[in-house]
Chains A and B, each alone.
Chain A
Amino acid sequence: MDYLLTEEQRMLQDLARQIAEERIKPIRAKLDEEEIFPTEIIKDLAQADLCGTIIPEEYGGLGMGTMENCLVLEALAMGCVGVATTYAASFLGAYPLLMYGTDAQKNRYLPPLAKGEALAAFALTEPQAGSDAGAIAATAVKDGDTYVLNGTKQWITNAGEAEFYTVIALTDRSKGVRGASALLVEKGDPGISFGKKEQKMGIRASVTREVILEDCRITKNRLLGKEGLGFIITMKTLDLARPGAGSLAVGLAQEALDEAAAFAKERQQFGVPIFSFQAVQHMLANMATKVEAARALVYSVARYIDSKPKDYSKAAAMAKLFPTDMAMEVTVDAVQVMGGHGYMREYPVEKMMRDAKILQIYEGTNQIMRNIIGLALNKEYSKKK
């Protein structure tokens, strides 16, 4: 399929594919098996200027949009979703700053990010606040020219590795979610610490830890936007990030399809390659069709977002929901096509199947995606009456 990419987009895609092929694929099994954080690959991405794709040029980035980010994420996910998640989660941490940061805040945090010298992280989830993000309990109490933060953030990707954290905390407990605010906390601030590295089913090259805030005192210029904007910033951040999760799914599923199809060509049973059996061909045909449908959806939504529409929550949720469910199905089928070989850790598809599961869960579960889409539909059809 030709998606009529610009020459620049194609160059960017080629570069990301080269990194996946040369730097990620040869070591992805080791990164997974030994749960190694991909420090060297982040350096490679930085060398290639890919740590700055969505960061404006005045801060050292490439000043590109959602579509370009999706192309890079898809290519990297073909290498390893654990690595690609590390990379994507840094942008998740940076989106609030990109959308709501002051010049001074951007000048401090974006250039090191664009150079790949620093990673960012987004700290929203808490033990009692997952899908119910409004239930967060972390607080940021104003004290003169400072805020004092207390609370525990759970399952934070890049925690402990990132240099700065966009933390969502309540500045006014009485107002509920309307009292939430987004604040920039640095790794070196007093009162911030990190929990143990979580042991995960998949994406094991990425790190997930608790972020623990104990009387963490930061100056008030760390506030993003205004007090009370925390929840809106969160929703806008997740809307912007969701096609990225969809891209990870497309790249992952494409890679699983490629592996399964190549195997089916080689593997002989009953005297012929198993590719020649209709039972296998139909599975591969379904997989290929689903991957292409998901890719087309992600690219369409990414381009729509880049056209700067006022509200795109529904489209963004669709671009996360469909591809990530698809990736789960396709990776399960890839294992099935490869049979016993697919189940062995010697082959890469069992890892892909494990990695696929998180895509249906993180950045808003797919059940929450359906809620968002359903809510939007309800509004649309109410208007039409």
Chain B
Amino acid sequence: MKIIVCIKQVPETQDVRLDPVTHTLKREGIKSIINPFDLYALEEGLRVKESQGGTVTVLTMGPPQAEDALREALGFGADGAVLLSDRAFAGADTWATALTLAGAIKKLGGADLIFTGKQAIDGDTAQVGPMLAAIMNISFASWARKVSFNAAGKVEVERLLDHGYDAVEVELPALISVVKEINEPRLPSFKAKLRAKKEPIPVWGLADLGLNPEEVGLAGSFTQVVKVFPPPARGTSETWEGSPSDLAARLWQRLREMSKAAV
């Protein structure tokens, strides 16, 4: 079983700041981590490997420092990692990203199973996984909360929905995006971390993937971010200080005023 897990390096903070000029995320001084949902994807990949045999290769596209995310993934027990990094890839939207990943997976000789997190916590688009499956023309199941293998060698996936779940059967090769309910990611192991430090990680660029410059990066993107802004605050809020009885009296007074105003 050849398993590929696609991960993304994202800023750790929930308090994301934006560059007002370029509309991109400000990354200076912010620690980078593996997108939390991708850790569940990696864990599921490792579990499938342990039950079905095979290898787990971790793939990411990003700036050179994304290598740190790959080394961290190797520390959990992945067998190998590839970094896709090239100036030509910069500014890629979800489509250009998926196309680049597809090029790399082709170069890796394809895969039986590809795992991704349901979405990245920075962009929150949840598009790269499905687009990658579409480009590769393979089965796709999203929001997997359980993955199992049946006697026919097919993969059964329980997909988490708003109210319950549905169960689908997918044929391999397939891409499965996972939700955090699927498993509990393991801890890194010391021996794997030691290996991860020394493991060579190939860096592939445009030329390695045999893609055209106009297919990737900003040039290959159908969408472009025009404006990024924090959502408008919902109403105004006040902070009051004082003793509980004073505050209660003040609140009562205000509620009465508000109800009068409403009438």
Q: Which of A's residues lie within 8 Å of B, judged by CB?
A: 8, 11-12, 15, 18-19, 22-23, 44, 47-50, 62
Contacts and interface: CB of A to CB of B under 8 A. Distances in A.
B186 A49 contact: no
Q: Lowest 5 A-B CB distances belong to which pairs?
A: A49-B190, A48-B187, A49-B189, A49-B191, A47-B187
B186 A47 contact: yes
Nearest to B189: A49
Counting chain B CB atoms within 10 Å of each CB, the highest count among A23, A49, A50 belongs to A49
A77 to B, nearest CB: 18
B188 interface: yes
B193 interface: yes
Contacts of B108: none
B211 interface: no
5 contacts: A8-B194, A11-B193, A48-B187, A48-B189, A49-B190
Contacts of B187: 15, 18-19, 22-23, 44, 47-48
A106 B43 CA distance: 33
Given A22-B187, A62-B191, 5 more contacts: A11-B190, A11-B193, A18-B187, A48-B187, A48-B189
Nearest to A62: B190
Interface in B185-205: 186-191, 193-194
Nearest to A53: B190
A178 to B, nearest CB: 41
Contacts of A23: 187
B189 to A, nearest CB: 5
A40 to B, nearest CB: 10
Contacts of B186: 47
A197 to B, nearest CB: 28
Interface residues of B, number: 8
Interface string B158-188: 0000000000000000000000000000111
A8 B194 CA distance: 8
Contacts of B190: 11-12, 15, 48-50, 62
A11 B194 contact: yes
A19 B191 CA distance: 16
Contacts of A12: 190
A49 B191 CA distance: 7
Contacts of A11: 190, 193-194
A266 B206 CA distance: 53
A62 B191 CA distance: 8
A107 B193 CA distance: 26
Interface in B205-248: none
A48 B193 CA distance: 10
Contacts of A15: 187-188, 190, 193
A47 B187 CA distance: 7
Contacts of A50: 190
A384 B186 CA distance: 57
Nearest to A16: B190
Contacts of A49: 189-191
B216 to A, nearest CB: 36
Nearest to B192: A49
A83 to B, nearest CB: 15
A166 B194 CA distance: 33
Contacts of B188: 15, 18, 48
Nearest to A49: B190
A18 B189 CA distance: 11
Nearest to B76: A47
A15 B72 CA distance: 12
Nearest to A22: B187
A188 B64 CA distance: 55
Interface in B109-158: none
Contacts of B193: 11, 15
A234 B189 CA distance: 32
A342 to B, nearest CB: 24
B217 to A, nearest CB: 35
A38 B210 CA distance: 53
A47 B191 CA distance: 10
A12 B186 CA distance: 16
A15 B190 CA distance: 7
Contacts of A19: 187
Nearest to A64: B190
B251 to A, nearest CB: 23
Nearest to B191: A49
Nearest to A7: B197
A50 B189 CA distance: 8
A22 B191 CA distance: 20
B39 to A, nearest CB: 12
A12 B188 CA distance: 11
A356 B239 CA distance: 42
